[in-house]
């Protein structure tokens, strides 16, 4: 019995399975609450119903793939909370698994990868976006798949999955610079096969979009015309002509902690977990420092932060396009990667050198992890439903 327990304890995926099981159980415990459409579910669930009834979308500003996932959920499970939200929960759960394998591919140890995955799995936006029938979780999970395939040097598939991510939501295009920056600054031997990703991403987007649009409308549409239509409709929403209490500029997401209310009873709160938000700048500086010293995880994490967040700042200034705090969701993984690596390095340093400060360091890290869980508990609707 003791040997069996030890074997389980030392199993590579023990902590990953526990994190997935707990977050999945939390999702399923609230899947029917509320029984009304939350925030942008009012757009996308209604659009899914319209697609099923009329073979036409009411939301042409977005590409078709994520909408088809919601359509599939309603078709399989019915027009109810299960049908609306199961596809998001499914994709969000896959995203946690992909994040763990990204950490491992970046040469983080099993324990450090598990620590980073704990931070990611129990981060508010990670959980919140996977709880609702919105487009973002499909975009982010497919983006994580593209990152993992890129790290495994499966460059053609990386391009295809980057296209699938963009076919869920166009903002996924901001993930492309992450791979490009990592490739440019990587100290390892660069493979020029990387340019297959740059080729297959746009080609796959143009080839696959008419097929997914056909699944909605039952007729083929010109992909060039569709891209122009989406860009035109997206760029038409600016801070000048749009009024919404939750509008915010990208720099505010880091400098001003202002949660966005998705729903009030139970409370779905759109906010970065406070435990992560407070350490954004130190975590990014740490990743840049580690990247400068040739650390692969530091380089990829810094590139991830630049591509999915920092580029939003000039885009916002130049286009004046509206933005919301949940646009920061694709960047959460970069911060959890860097923070997990930093905490892991601190643990490994004091453990290997038998420092006198070992106990205080362990205590501080333990307190931080409890604070992270507390942030999750306070922000999510799982524990406080009224």
In this predicted structure, the answer to whether residue 237 has a pLDDT above a threshold of 90 is no
Q: What is the pLDDT of residue 353?
A: 66
Share of the chain above pLDDT 70, in %: 97
**C-alpha separations of 163 from 51, 93, 191 in Å:** 22, 21, 21
Q: Report the distance separating Cα 126 and Cα 104, nearest Å.
A: 19
| Stretch 155-182: mean pLDDT | 96
Q: Report the distance separating Cα 152 and Cα 269, nearest Å.
A: 36
Q: What is the pLDDT of residue 385?
A: 55
- Give the number of other Cβ atoms within 10 Å of residue 90's Cβ: 18
Bond preceding residue 34 cis, omega within 30 of 0: yes
The pLDDT tens digits for 212-228 are 999 999 999 999 999 99
- Check: CB of residue 236 under 8 Å from CB of residue 322: no
The H-or-E segment that residue 260 falls in is strand 260-263
Q: Which residues pair with 261 in a beta bridge?
A: 269
The pLDDT tens digits for 346-369 are 888 887 766 677 788 889 999 999
Q: Report the distance separating Cα 172 and Cα 153, nearest Å.
A: 20
The pLDDT tens digits for 91-147 are 999 999 999 999 999 999 999 999 999 999 999 999 999 999 999 999 999 999 999
Q: What is the pLDDT of residue 144?
A: 98
In this predicted structure, the answer to whether residue 85 has a pLDDT above a threshold of 70 is yes
Average pLDDT for the chain: 93
In this predicted structure, the answer to whether residue 56 has a pLDDT above a threshold of 90 is yes
Give just the sign of the alpha carbon dihedral 138, 115, 373, 324.
Answer: negative
* CA-wise closest residue to 379 among 276, 277, 270, 275: 270
Comparing 74-88, 241-255, 259-273, 352-366, the range with the smallest average pLDDT is 352-366
* CA-wise closest residue to 64 among 211, 176, 228: 211
- Check: CB of residue 146 under 8 Å from CB of residue 161: yes
Share of the chain above pLDDT 90, in %: 82
The band of 191, judged by pLDDT with boundaries at 50, 70 and 90, is confident
**Both structure tokens of 22:** 């707990």
In this predicted structure, the answer to whether residue 195 has a pLDDT above a threshold of 90 is yes
Q: What is the pLDDT of residue 293?
A: 92
| Stretch 156-169: mean pLDDT | 97
Higher-confidence position of 191 and 77: 77
Q: Given the structure tokens 């931080």, which residue do they identify?
A: 368
| Stretch 228-253: mean pLDDT | 90
Q: Look at phi and psi of residue 271 and say left if phi exceeds 0, alpha if psi is from -120 to 50, else beta.
A: beta
């Amino acid at each position: 019995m003791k040997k069996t327990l030890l074997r389980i304890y030392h199993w590579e995926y023990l902590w990953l399975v526990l994190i997935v099981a707990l977050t999945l159980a939390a999702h399923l415990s609230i899947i029917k609450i509320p029984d009304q459409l939350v925030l942008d579910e009012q757009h996308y669930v209604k659009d899914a119903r319209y697609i099923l009834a009329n073979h036409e979308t009411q939301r042409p500003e977005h590409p078709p793939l994520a909408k088809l996932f919601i359509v599939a959920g309603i078709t399989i499970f019915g027009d109810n909370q299960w049908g609306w939200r199961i596809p998001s929960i499914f994709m969000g759960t896959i995203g946690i698994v992909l994040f763990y394998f990204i950490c491992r591919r970046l040469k983080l140890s099993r324990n450090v990868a598990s620590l980073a995955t704990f931070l990611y799995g129990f981060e508010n936006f990670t959980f919140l976006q996977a709880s609702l029938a919105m487009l973002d979780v499909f975009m982010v999970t497919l983006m994580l798949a593209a990152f993992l395939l890129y790290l495994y040097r499966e460059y053609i598939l990386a391009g295809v999955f980057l296209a699938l991510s963009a076919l869920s939501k166009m903002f996924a295009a901001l993930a492309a610079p992450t791979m490009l920056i990592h490739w440019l600054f990587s100290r390892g031997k660069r493979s020029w096969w990387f340019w297959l990703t740059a080729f297959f991403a746009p080609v796959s987007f143009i080839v696959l979009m008419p097929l997914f649009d056909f699944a909605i409308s039952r007729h083929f549409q010109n992909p060039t015309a569709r891209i122009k239509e989406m860009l035109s409709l997206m760029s038409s929403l600016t801070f000048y002509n749009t009024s919404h209490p939750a509008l915010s500029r990208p720099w505010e997401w880091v400098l001003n902690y202002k949660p966005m209310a998705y729903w009030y009873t139970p409370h779905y709160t759109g906010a970065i977990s406070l435990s992560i938000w407070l350490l954004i700048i130190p975590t990014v500086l740490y990743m840049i420092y580690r990247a400068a010293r040739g650390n692969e995880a530091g380089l990829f994490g810094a590139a991830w932060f630049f591509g999915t967040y920092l580029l939003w700042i000039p885009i916002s200034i130049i286009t004046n396009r509206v933005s919301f705090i949940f646009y920061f969701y694709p960047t959460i993984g970069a911060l959890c990667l860097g923070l997990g690596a930093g905490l892991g390095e601190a643990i490994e340093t004091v453990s290997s050198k038998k420092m006198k400060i070992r106990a205080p360091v362990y205590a501080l890290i333990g307190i931080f992890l409890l604070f992270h869980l507390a942030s999750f508990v306070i922000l999510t609707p799982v524990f406080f439903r009224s």
